Structure 1
Amino acid sequence: MRNKSWTLGLLGLFLIICCVMVQFLASTLKIDQLVQQMVQSGVQQKPYKHVVLIAQELDNPFWRTVEKGASEAAARLGMKIDYWGPIRINPAEQTNLLEKSITTKPDALLVQGIKEAQYDLLISKAIDQGIPVITLDADEPASRRLTYVGTDNREAGRRMGELVLEAASEKGRIGVIIGSELAENQQQRLEGFRSALAKAPLFEIIDIRSSNISRIQAAKHTEAMLKQYPAIQTMVGFSSLDAAGIVEGVKAVHREGIAVFGFDDIEATRQGIAQGTIRASVVQQPQEIGAQSVHMLDAYFHQNTLPAQQYTGTYILDMSNLSDQASTPTP
């Protein structure tokens, strides 16, 4: 009888141990499943690639539109854009921001080219740390940047020259306002402009002055230029605020019959074209520049070879198509 009781006790104990083991195994399997789900969820929800976009001027309409195009494309391609830039145009501050951005170790950099040795060295520093760099708006061809995305500025300047030649008579004296003497894109536009005028020897550039991308400065320089050179018949501006400033300068000296040509599409330029004070404007596509730069990064991240340049187009805005084209803020 006693042996039977021991046997039953041992059997009960064995069953209890088996139940505990089954529960333990079930819990272990459940934990493994949860871990697997967490791992899979982490794979599906990879963090965004962090991209820093450094503008020439933080609140410049052109660069805000570049940012818009870049951010919209980034949202579709699994990237996040951080937008930096100096309050006012300042190449030294742009250089400082590039150096600072490298220390944050982003996945990529989108920057405007600046023609100076220190800037090239910083681009090389980023590349050495595995941070790809693409230049926008103005190139840095001597650097190790991956590619340039933006306007073919020499071609845009040449188109401006053709506009002036078509609108003027057999000869003409021209005053030019450029956005900055230090900006490579402005110099390239001027080169293209000169190449078009070279075909018409009776046309002459009388004076060239810099507005520092300021409407007020463009107006002041235009006024001074027209007073000093009253024979000027045509005024050309190569950055977005120049044409509107030129119109103000022309009014200040009470000159009539001055043909004014501008660059880009802002409301003041549209108003000038509508009122007949501005003949035409060569217009860039900044939103496309931002979007294309992000697509180039995506191609690079997928091990694709990039072209040396990715040019975006321009078009001519004048009275004939003013109502057809939507206004796009640009510099």
Structure 2
Amino acid sequence: MSRFANVAYILGTLFFLISCFFSIYYGYKVVTHKLPTESNHLEKYKYHFVLVPEEQDNEYWRLVEKGARTAAEKYDVLLEYVGPKQANIDEHVKTIEMSAASKVDGILMQGLNDEQFTPLIDRVVEKKIPVITVDTDALNSKRIAYIGTDNYYSGYLAGKAMIEETHGIANVAIITGNYYKNHQIQRVKGFQDAVKKEKGIRIITVKESDISRVRAAEKTHQILQDYPEVNAFYGTSALDGIGIAQEVEKYKMKNSMTIIAFDTLPETINYIKQGIIKATVVQEPYEMGFKSVEMMIDLIEGRKVPTIVHTNTRIMRAEDLQVSHMDRREIKR
């Protein structure tokens, strides 16, 4: 073997060993981050709760987490924030199953889909682990309580905002995050019921974005090509509104298009300031997280907990931004 071949062989071997080391190291970090800790090893904490978000790095859910962590620190609770990196029903279910197997004291979770989540929640509660749904309810399950937005009402508010902004005359396209998620379904239903008596408002089509601003923009582009009569959009998740606004801005349709969005991500606020988004629905994720921890403690300690607690929901327009500075807790999904 030549000297050059020997050097190449040695370098290749070193590269392989280093790659293996980092693969094992980061793989270990990912796994240990996702797996809930056994409750019986947590003597220094009063309780051990798990908060399972729709997706970990979603800005809305980070606000829910922030509120929950503030409450957890106040009441000496170990709070683990674990779940899928991106929205995925199967991973969501597995995380809840692992949490139950780890014998946590309580699970805070989103009730996304009746068919999959109702039997899952029922199995967890039958194991004497209380479940509180946050943001999205699973009303038909044995969950103990729900705290979050009245999603039907929030959709209804969006519909009323559409009527006001268009004076009751519009051809509307709806872009929704998912067809199968309870909160998205309710937001569409509330909107439809709000506008159904308005003879001048027609809902032309409903498209799904998979809660992706890229997909929302693609669907907007497709709608504008297929339905040139559309002059108004309603997006049922924060990323939908942003994706819609990007396309409207791209084609310079600001003055001919009405957009009603959801939540107050920084991009949404900027589009409201520019007059591209006319109004958005505001929720309270920080409050949801904080109160969900308090409710779980009350539940465990035998105090009465209401089965449904609706947090505040309202409409925000450009004039509202001029009245006061936006509370940082209003950065949403």
Aligned to 1:62: 60
Select the residue among 237, 240, 243 that pairs with 2:238. Answer: 240
TM-score by length of 2: 0.83
Alpha-carbon distance in structure 2 between the residues aligned to 1:170 and 1:276: 19
In the alignment, is the contact (CA less than 8 A) between 2:154 and 2:314 conserved in 1?
no
Q: Letter of the aligned partner of 1:216 in structure 2?
A: V
Percent of aligned positions with the same letter in both sequences?
Answer: 34
Structure 2 residue 327 is the aligned partner of structure 1 residue 326: yes
Q: 1:117-142: CA deviations, max 9, x gaps?
A: 34222212221221100001111111
Contact 1:59/1:87 (8 A) holds in 2: yes
Could you say what the CA RMSD is over the residues aligned between the two structures, in angstroms? Answer: 1.4
137, 144, 147: which is aligned to 2:145?
Answer: 147
User: Could you give the per-residue CA deviations for residues 221-280 of structure 1, whole angstroms, max 9, x where no partner exists?
Assistant: 001001111111111111011111101222444534101111001100010011111101
The answer (yes or no) to whether the contact 1:223–1:253 under 8 Å persists in 2 is no
Cα distance change on mapping 1:121 and 1:59 into 2, 3 Å: same
Instruction: Could you tell me which runs of 5 or more consecutive residues in structure 2 were left unpaired when the two chains were aligned.
Output: 1-42
Q: Distance in 1 between matches of 2:87 and 2:163?
A: 32
Count matched residues. 287
Question: What corresponds to 2:174 in structure 1?
Answer: 176
Contact 2:249 2:276 in 1 (8 A): no
2:281–2:315 contact (8 Å) kept in structure 1: yes
Q: Secondary structure at the match of 2:71?
A: helix
Deviation at 1:303, TM superposition (A): 1.0
Moved more, 116-125 or 237-246: 116-125
2:12 counterpart residue number: none
Instruction: Describe the SS at the equivalent of 1:135.
Output: strand
Correspondence for 2:263: 264
Q: Secondary structure in 1 aligned to 2:320?
A: coil
Q: Deviations over 1:165-198 (max 9, x none)?
A: 0110342110111111121001001111011102
Partner of 1:311: 310
**In 2, Cα distance between equivalents of 1:254 and 1:47:** 56
- What is residue 194 of structure 1 aligned with on the other side? 192
CA distance in 2, matches of 1:248, 1:67: 29
The answer to whether the aligner puts 1:283 opposite 2:282 as a matched pair is yes
Pairs within 5 Å for 1:103-142: 103-142=101-140
- Unaligned 5+ segments in structure 1 are 1-44
Q: Does 1:292 align with 2:291?
A: yes
Which structure has the larger Rg?
1
